[in-house]
C-alpha cells in the first residue's frame, strides 16, 4: 500500500480515540496510539496490537512527548471526559488540556505535522443561546466543579489558535457534542452508560433533577467520519460535530427502559449536579457546508448497536 501518512492519536485507549485508531488503520495510515490509561482501557485497542500499522506508547501527554520518526498528523483526544471523572481528577484534567496540548502543539511544530484537537460543547457552558453556533462565546462558570474541563478546553482552543496565528501551524478544532457508542466505560457516570447498566441490572435509572434538561446524542461512527473530513479540510476555525436530535433526559430514560425491557428497571430521581447545562443542541451548518457532513445514524439504530455492547460488558450479579 502506498504511504498515506503517520498519525499520532492521544487518548488512543479511550472511547473516541480507539474508534479513531480503528478508522485510520483501516484507511491505510500508520498509527501511533498514546494513552496513560488513566481512564482509557487497553481492551479497546487490544485487537490492533497484531497490526503492523499500529504501535502503542504508554505515556502521559502532560509530560514532554517524544515520538521518534516522521509524523504527518496529530489528533489530541486524551482527557478525562465524563463529569464524574473530571470531578475526581480535576488537576489531571486541567493539565492534559493545557500542558498536554502545549506539548503536542510543540511536537506538531517540530514535525511539521497538522494537528487536530478535541474540543467540546462544554466550551458553551450552560448556554444562553440555543442551538449553539460556533460564534457563541459561551456561559461558563470558571470556578465551578465543571470549570476544570471547560476552561482547560477553552485554553486548549486559545493556544491552538495562537500556534496557528503565530507559527502558521496547520490546526483543526472540533467541538464535540454528546457522543455515544460501544466502548464507553460502564462506570464513567455519563447518562448513557449509567442508564444502560441500570436497566440491564433491573435497577433504578438515576434521572438527575426533574429530567427536563436536554442533550443531543451523536453515534460515534458519525462523529469519526466528521473528524476525518475536518482533518483533511482546509478549515482552521472550530467546527461543531454532533447530532441535532434533542431529547430530555426523562424521554431518554424511557427510551432505554423500552429498549432493554427489564420489568424490574424503573426511574428514580437524584439531585441535579452543580452547573449542569439545561439544554444542549449543536447548530451544524458549518460542518454541513464545509465538510458536507450530516449524521446518518438515527438514535434508535445507534442505541441498538450500543445495547449489544453493554449486554456483553455489564456484569449482572
Please answer whether residues 218 and 241 qualify as being in contact, where contact means their C-beta atoms are separated by less than 8 angstroms.
yes
* Helical (H) or strand (E) element with 158: helix 147-167
In the complex with ligand UDP, the residue whose CB is nearer, 55 or 255, is 255
Please report whether residue 194 would count as binding ligand UDP according to CB under 6 A. Answer: yes
Answer whether 235's CB lies under 8 Å from 287's CB: no
Long-range contacts of range 50-57, CB-CB < 8 Å, 24 or more positions apart?
Answer: 51/25, 53/25, 53/28, 53/29, 54/21, 54/25, 55/31, 56/12, 56/13, 56/32, 57/32, 57/33
Among 44, 98, 213, 216, binds ligand UDP (CB under 6 A): 213
d(CA 268, CA 47): 38
Q: Which member of 249, 260, 265, 284 binds ligand UDP (CB under 6 A)?
A: 249
Rounded Cα–Cα distance for residues 186 and 54 (Å): 26
Closest separation between CB of residue 247 and ligand UDP, Å? 10
Whichever of 272 and 313 has its CB closer to ligand UDP, that residue is 272
Closest distance between ligand UDP and the C-beta of residue 74, in Å? 25
Q: Of the two residues 225 and 276, which places its CB atom closer to ligand UDP in the complex?
A: 276
Task: Say if CB 9 and CB 23 are below 8 A apart.
Answer: no
> By CB under 6 A, is residue 291 in contact with ligand UDP?
no
Per CB under 6 A, 206 contacts ligand UDP: yes
CB of 254 to ligand UDP, least distance (A): 12
Catalytic residue (choose from 86, 149, 163, 219): 149
Is the CB of 33 or the CB of 193 nearer to ligand UDP?
Answer: 193
Q: The C-alpha cell of 151 is what?
A: 476552561
Q: What is the DSSP letter of 12?
A: T
Q: Does 208 bind ligand UDP (CB under 6 A)?
A: yes
255: contact with ligand UDP by CB under 6 A: no
Q: Is 219 a catalytic residue?
A: no
Q: Any contact of residue 5 with ligand UDP (CB under 6 A)?
A: no
C-alpha to C-alpha distance for 223 and 173, rounded to whole angstroms: 13
> Which positions from 83 to 112 touch ligand UDP by CB under 6 A, shown as an x/- string?
x-----------------------------
Closest distance to ligand UDP from the beta carbon of 73 (Å): 27
Name the residue among 288, 277, 285 with its Cα closest to residue 138. 277
Residue 13 beta carbon to ligand UDP: minimum distance, rounded to whole angstroms: 20
> Could you tell me the sign of the dihedral formed by the alpha carbons of 43, 13, 19, 255, in that order?
positive
* Residue 72 makes contact with ligand UDP by CB under 6 A: no
E strand residue ranges, the chain? 6-10, 30-35, 54-58, 73-76, 114-120, 171-176, 179-180, 204-208, 214-216, 218-219, 239-241, 246-248, 266-270
- Residue 269 binding ligand UDP, by CB under 6 A: no
Query: With binding defined as CB under 6 A, does residue 16 bind ligand UDP?
Result: no
Residue 285 C-beta: closest distance to ligand UDP, Å? 22
For the bound state, the minimum distance from the C-beta of residue 302 to ligand UDP, rounded and expressed in Å, comes to 15
Contact yes or no for 182/191 (Cβ under 8 A): no
DSSP state of 314: P
Contact status: 75 vs ligand UDP (CB under 6 A) = no
Residues that bind ligand UDP (CB under 6 A): 82-83, 178, 190-191, 194, 206-208, 213, 215, 249, 272-273, 276
Just list the catalytic residues.
Answer: 149
Amino acid at each position: 500500500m502506498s504511504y498515506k501518512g503517520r498519525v499520532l492519536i492521544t487518548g488512543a485507549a479511550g472511547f473516541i480515540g480507539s474508534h479513531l485508531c480503528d478508522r485510520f488503520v483501516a484507511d491505510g495510515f500508520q498509527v501511533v496510539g498514546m494513552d496513560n490509561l488513566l481512564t482509557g482501557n487497553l481492551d479497546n485497542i487490544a485487537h490492533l496490537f497484531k497490526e503492523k500499522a499500529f504501535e502503542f506508547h504508554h505515556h502521559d501527554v502532560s509530560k514532554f512527548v517524544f515520538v521518534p520518526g516522521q509524523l504527518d498528523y496529530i489528533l489530541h483526544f486524551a482527557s478525562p471526559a465524563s463529569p464524574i471523572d473530571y470531578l475526581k481528577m480535576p488537576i489531571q484534567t486541567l493539565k492534559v488540556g493545557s500542558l498536554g496540548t502545549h506539548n503536542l502543539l510543540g511536537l506538531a511544530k517540530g514535525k511539521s505535522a497538522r494537528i487536530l484537537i478535541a474540543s467540546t460543547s462544554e466550551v458553551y457552558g450552560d448556554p444562553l443561546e440555543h442551538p449553539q453556533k460556533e460564534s457563541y462565546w459561551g456561559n461558563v462558570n470558571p470556578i465551578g466543579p465543571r470549570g476544570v474541563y471547560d476552561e482547560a478546553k477553552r485554553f486548549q482552543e486559545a493556544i491552538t489558535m495562537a500556534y496557528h496565528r503565530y507559527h502558521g501551524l496547520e490546526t483543526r478544532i472540533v467541538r464535540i457534542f454528546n457522543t455515544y457508542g460501544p466502548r464507553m466505560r460502564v462506570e464513567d457516570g455519563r447518562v448513557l452508560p449509567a442508564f444502560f447498566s441500570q436497566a440491564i441490572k433491573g435497577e433504578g435509572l438515576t434521572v438527575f433533577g426533574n429530567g427536563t434538561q436536554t442533550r443531543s446524542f451523536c453515534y460515534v461512527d458519525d462523529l469519526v467520519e466528521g473528524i476525518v473530513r475536518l482533518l483533511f479540510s482546509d478549515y482552521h476555525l472550530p467546527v461543531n460535530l454532533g447530532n441535532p436530535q434533542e431529547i430530555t433526559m426523562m424521554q431518554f430514560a424511557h427510551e432505554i427502559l423500552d429498549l432493554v425491557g427489564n420489568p424490574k428497571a424503573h426511574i428514580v430521581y437524584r439531585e441535579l449536579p452543580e452547573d449542569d447545562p439545561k439544554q444542549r443542541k449543536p447548530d451544524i451548518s458549518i460542518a454541513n457546508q464545509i465538510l458536507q457532513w450530516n449524521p446518518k445514524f438515527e438514535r434508535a439504530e445507534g442505541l441498538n448497536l450500543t445495547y449489544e455492547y453493554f449486554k456483553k460488558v455489564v456484569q449482572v450479579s
